[in-house]
Homo-oligomer: A and B are copies of this chain.
């Protein structure tokens, strides 16, 4: 099992909308995530700078990424979310996250 952690930045003037949307993520998106192997999935936000941390657990990150990219509801959701994120120069929105390396784990 891989524990995955990465960051993105939410635009500071869109924080409230972003948080509000995540109180009611579409059920078909939740089902697609589970079906694609994403578990114990949390999003954490720092309202001061808009830094958003994703933490989740997957059997295989690349497989989980490939699987969710085939899910129509997830693609629609991501298309809506992309406006909330600060663009990263030279990267497509779907690749604009910064993955961190796990350096310690205690069960």
Asked whether A45 lies within 8 Å of B107 as measured between CB atoms, the reply is no
B residues less than 8 Å from A102 (CB atoms): 42-44
CA distance A70 to B17 in the complex (A): 41
Q: Is A105 an interface residue (CB 8 A)?
A: yes
Asked whether B47 lies within 8 Å of A101 as measured between CB atoms, the reply is yes
B residues less than 8 Å from A107 (CB atoms): 39-40
Copies assembled: 2
A56 CB to nearest chain B CB (Å): 8
Q: Which of B40, B46, B48, B103 contacts A22 (CB 8 A)?
A: B103
B residues less than 8 Å from A103 (CB atoms): 18-19, 22, 43-45
As a 0/1 sequence over residues 17 to 58 of chain A, the CB contacts with chain B under 8 angstroms (1 = contact) are 011001001000010011000111111111110010101000
As a 0/1 sequence over residues 51 to 68 of chain A, the CB contacts with chain B under 8 angstroms (1 = contact) are 101010000000000000
